[in-house]
Amino acid sequence: MNFWEGVRLALNTIRTNKLRAFFTVLGTVVGVTFLIAVITLIEGMNAYVEKEFKGAIYGVNTVVVRRFPAVNMEADGEQWREFVRRPRLTIDDAEWLSERMETPGLVSLSAETDGAVQGPRGQQLENVQITGANAEYFEARELEMQAGRTFSRQESDKGVPVVVIGSGIAEALWDNRNPVGQELRIRGLPFRVVGVLKERGSLMGFSMDNVVVAPLRAGGMNGWVNRQRNAVGSLTYKVPEAELIRPAMDELETLMRVRRGLKPSEGNNFSVETAEDSLAFWDKIRTILLLALPMLVGISLIVGAIVIMNIMLVSVAERTREIGVRKSLGARRKDILMQFLIESSALSAAGAFLGIGAGVLLAKGVQAATPMPATVAPWSIALAIFLGVGVGLAAGVYPAWRASRLDPIVALRSE
């Protein structure tokens, strides 16, 4: 009996007993559903972090200088006390650096806070991300305009009260009318709207269009948005191509140490990092999740295998006479062994297919209901099929071996 003959036979057996087959492979279905759903969500997060998060939060091809790293998963109290003792970055630091940097690039400054803004008729808008920045900020972050313009270098340097607003603000305060030239109040002070940013959507459930960007030196901004006059939250150095990231980092670090007058024995009292550096924590989380997953999935698959094995033993017992008939007609041990092995693998593989479908649906459901993104990884589907067949094979070995060893005379006599 060849392999495909066995598969056809197995599928027939499954088809004639669908409900029982379903319950037999429930363990496999649950295990694979879980596997696919979790991997799909992890990979979704990963793709999201890679594609959206880095660009949206850090910009492409950028090196960021800060007082301390943006993400501190492992910093303890001692570390935090050291962080807050560090001097803040200042606008003067930025100017000093931009005069000396030899690696081509742009220096972008920004400081951010959350606050309220008022529309022309006094409408209050809460929880707006208010950013103080220089003119290069827009280019460094690759922000595109929907209407109007960004503010100029002169406006930035002189602290002219102009503001660029996110599309969400434009919609909330001006509806469909053009906000360019209109007045927006920040902390009660009037700012003239010069431009509207293109819609950027949301990141992890937070809108990126609910923002206003004004010159950092503007009255009302300086000393508030940056908490200390002329301080800067972060300094972003944008280089034209990825190969320049490393040289820019080295140069920024060297210059900053000179600027701060640090001795060779002293550590940096600032941080220089790229998007990849600060998102290294995500790689760690992903690795932990992907390593913990097999244990959880493994338990359901082991339970699944035990159930399949038991049902296959029952099936062998029920079909003892059939086995006897097949043997009397010339089936060898290996024919019977293969028949039952293929049957249990096909059964479990079918369960894996169900699980793949359910897992993808589950992940898509989570995606629809929460900000969590989902991306189906082809390797996870291959893994699920491999595991499904493997579980079936492992579970089928003993029942199939028992079937193959049946004495045809005894088997033919059974009822």
Partner 1 sequence: MSDDKPIIETRGLQKHYDLGAETVRALRGVDLRIHRNEYVAIMGPSGSGKSTFMNLIGCLDTPTAGEYVLNGQPVAGMRDDDLARIRNREIGFVFQTFNLLPRSTALENVELPLVYAGTGKAERRRRAADALKSVELGDRMDHRPSQLSGGQRQRVAIARALVTNPSIILADEPTGNLDSRTSEEIMALFARLHEEGQTIIMVTHEPDIAAHAERVVTLRDGVISSDVRQAPAPVAAREVRDPVGAEA
Task: Report the site for partner 1 in 305-324 (rule: CB under 8 A).
Answer: 321-322, 324
Query: Smallest distance, Å, CB 12 to partner 1?
Result: 7
Q: Mask: binding to partner 1, 352-391, rule CB under 8 A, as x and -? A: ----------------------------------------
Query: Smallest distance, Å, CB 4 to partner 1?
Result: 10
Question: Phi and psi (nearest 5°) for 196?
Answer: -125, 130
242: DSSP letter: G
Using rule CB under 8 A, residue 3 touches partner 1: no
* One residue of 186, 326, 375, 392 binding partner 1 per CB under 8 A: 326
Radius of gyration in angstroms for the set of CA atoms belonging to the chain, rounded to a whole number:
32
Using rule CB under 8 A, residue 288 touches partner 1: no
Using rule CB under 8 A, residue 329 touches partner 1: yes
Run of H or E including 190: strand 189-197
Alpha-helix runs per DSSP H in 110-162:
137-140, 153-158
Using rule CB under 8 A, residue 188 touches partner 1: no
Task: Report the site for partner 1 in 13-42 (rule: CB under 8 A).
Answer: 13, 16
- Please report how the helices 378-404 and 280-318 are oriented relative to each other, as an axis angle in degrees rounded to 10: 30
Using rule CB under 8 A, residue 112 touches partner 1: no
The CA–CA distances, whole Å, from 318 to 312, 314, 321, 322 equal: 10, 6, 8, 9
Q: Which is nearer to partner 1, 192 or 321 (CB)?
A: 321
Contact criterion met (CB below 8 Å) for 238 and 143: no
The amino acid sitting at 352 is: A
Contact criterion met (CB below 8 Å) for 149 and 177: no
User: Degrees (nearest 5) of the Cα angle 255, 257, 260?
Assistant: 110
Using rule CB under 8 A, residue 300 touches partner 1: no
Run of H or E including 169: helix 167-174
CA dist 252 and 250 (Å) reads 6
* One residue of 187, 257, 260, 333 binding partner 1 per CB under 8 A: 333
Which residue's entry shows tokens 């006094």? Answer: 122
Q: Which is nearer to partner 1, 13 or 234 (CB)?
A: 13
Q: Which is nearer to partner 1, 12 or 123 (CB)?
A: 12
* One residue of 330, 369, 378, 379 binding partner 1 per CB under 8 A: 330
CA dist 157 and 135 (Å) reads 9
Using rule CB under 8 A, residue 409 touches partner 1: yes
* One residue of 1, 26, 101, 147 binding partner 1 per CB under 8 A: 1
Query: Smallest distance, Å, CB 325 to partner 1?
Result: 5
Give me the residues that bind partner 1 (CB under 8 A), please.
1-2, 5, 12-13, 16, 321-322, 324-335, 408-409, 412
